[in-house]
Structure 1
Amino acid sequence: MSSKKIDFLLPADVAAGATSGILLGNFNNWDSNQGVALKKQKDGSLKATVTLQAGLYEYRYLLNDGRWVNDTQASKYIPEFAVENCVIEVVADAPVAPAPKAKAVKAKTTAEPVAAKAPAKTAKAKTAEPKVETKAKAKKA
């Protein structure tokens, strides 16, 4: 089964002044000792990257100011103990079938050179001209 690197990004307006935090979810058993550290970005957002197998995961962010916050970009939420957990679905890449190998096709060639044929001589059709015999009548004088 293949895994994917997933970026989790908590926007600056949601982080609201928090300088750090951890990403917790069922992928790390909600264990704060196994939490994935969020790194503060230049724009004030907090980011973490996690490698996950294909599947459905619930998660939330625990910030250093003690607040639990949700991902505003989560695809859906699941109610859990009076709060809603964010949900992400990691989809496995479809296996790429190898392209069928093209069969080599041998072109049939003749080893003998083809001699150029001279144009056929055309016989001139002899047209029979009508023979006109003219009889000169001799004038008797």
Structure 2
Amino acid sequence: METVKITKGLVLLALPALVTTACSHSDAKYKNLQTGEKVYIIKSESGQAIDSVSGKPVEFYVDLDTKDTIYGETGEVVNNKIVKTADNVYKLDESKFKSDVEKLLESGEDVKVKRDGDELKIKTDDKKIKIEDGETKVKDR
């Protein structure tokens, strides 16, 4: 019985070291771009990247295997599409992204575009898109 008590005592003493080693960030596959810390990424129900240890959203992270920078909101690879602001915060560089309208016009689909002041109407074979005052509405045809 005494051997069992000593073993339990050793296990209880060693447990914090085991937990610390198991939760070490050295084997993490991702790095939070903003903090520079290695993180374990999980996805929330909405698809947002979450640090599984802290439970906080991660806006941008780097895949340490592929070296890709990933936008945490969507999971999209955003290599060379982000900027660091004067206050050291990373943000998407909107000028590097094509608008939905630009993508549609380059798609090769038969597209009709009508502009009336600030209102823009786009018709394709399967969609009608109306953009007015920054609001976009899409209807299937």
Superposed pair shares fold, TM > 0.5:
no
Instruction: Give the number of the structure whose residues are more often helix, by fraction.
Output: 2
TM-score normalised by the chain length of structure 2? 0.23
Bigger relative contact order (CA 8 A; separation at least 6): 1
